Structure 1
Amino acid sequence: MKVLVGVKRVVDYAVKVNVKNGSVNLNNVKMSLNPFCEIAVEEACRLKESKAAEEIIALSIGPKQCTETLRTALAMGCDRAIHISTDMRTDYMELQPYAIAKMIQKIVDQEQPDLVLLGKQGIDSDCGQTGPMLAGFLGWPQITFAANLTANDDGKSITVERETDSGTETIDATLPAVVTCDLRLNEPRYATLPNIMKAKKKKVDTINADDLDVDLKTYNEVVEVFEPIGRKAGVSVDNVDELLDKLRNEAGVIV
């Protein structure tokens, strides 16, 4: 089985973002591997360790700094990487899920993987659209919000337990297929120093996004980006009766 894993470079989850000139300011901000993509990489590595997968290819779309993110995936266990180079912002401001899915489709057509693993969403845009769109373009089965994934012994199908609003459901799908990964699927490993050093020697192919013959036009316009309104300071009360009075007559939350 050949596995293609999507790897997105995003603002680190621990960073407090700020808005500047109508968009999230990315200058001098720590960037890292999207947590859901990291889970997808870990799952691919586990498939290889169980002998279900033979090769793992990491794919990232974005500026030249994406090669650093790809090196993280390579250090975790991916065999090689592909970087689609573009200076367009990938946080929905410029490059949006439709174009991203179309570019991934081009790489799928080129590499012919049996399984595509993606994070369920990027923590910058929270769209969650790339996986389903890609599956639609390819005409492949899709399973979103995967919480458990098993490669079946026949080598031609997978069984996936997926998250739903009312619990989980288990789905059998024939390969090739697209799976998007949720938090419960696994706990990603830390790359060891020897593997980090080995990752520097692994192959990273770079493709210019303009050479893929994909429409990169932005169809949805982001009208405004603004920081959430800060919470007002709390009020101290002297006793329970005063608290109940404020909840009843000022907040109106009890009757």
Structure 2
Amino acid sequence: MSSQQPTAPLSSIVQGRNPRTYFDPIEMADMEASVKANGVIQPILVRPFEGKLQIVAGERRYRAALNIFGETYEIPYLLKEMTDAEADELALVENIQRADMSPTEEAVAAAKILARYKGDREEAASRLGWKRQKLDSRLALMNCSELVRIALNERKIQLGHAELLATTTREQQDKALEAIIKNQVPVASIKQMLGQVSKSMTGAIFDKTECAACPHNSDLQTALFSESVGAGSCTRHPIQSAPMLNRQLWNRCAPT
């Protein structure tokens, strides 16, 4: 380590506002093996915080070093003054560039960035290095229930599952999630079942003006997500058919 590179004991560093809430055990094991063999080579980024240093980027390196060497380990760092909002933005961008974040983790963090830019989606997407469509699709995942978001964070379901479930009510999502995980239901099966219980809006006689921005409108889903039930359908009102959907999940996908 260069003598010009500052270091600090782990005991003087606190965890920051990391948008990542799930750390893959396999990836962490690889990180710890590397740190054990070589130490932490790349400095973490920190900012001054209540008399200590707060991590902005590099929490996985911090966690690995703490687990292997303990609080006395001197970790290399780069110090930068920044506000909470600046730290949030930099932490999100750093995580996106370095490792595969869960889409729902990206969604939660992107919502904070959007608030910073007062709802300007073009500016928020630009700051994140995303296309506008990606920002919109991530923010739409905020329609997922907490249990569905956790399941996607922990890689228990795929993005396609979450996209399809996000189009239904949160009550429906939670009821279906257990069966999906238990029986490892593929995305294609969920798409087919939702299509069967969704209601076509083609012949609807009510005013559909408000439907244009409704998260349960399959036309909007098709524009935002890679997985949807197809155009011209409503996935909200079929909640009355929820028992049928859940019976389909359990009966079709239960082990024989």
TM range, normalised to the smaller chain?
under 0.3
Please identify which structure carries the higher strand content. Answer: 1
Structure number with higher helix proportion: 2
TM-score, normalised via structure 2 length: 0.27
Q: Which has the higher contact order (CA 8 A, sep 6+)?
A: 1
Structure 1 length as normaliser, TM-score?
0.27
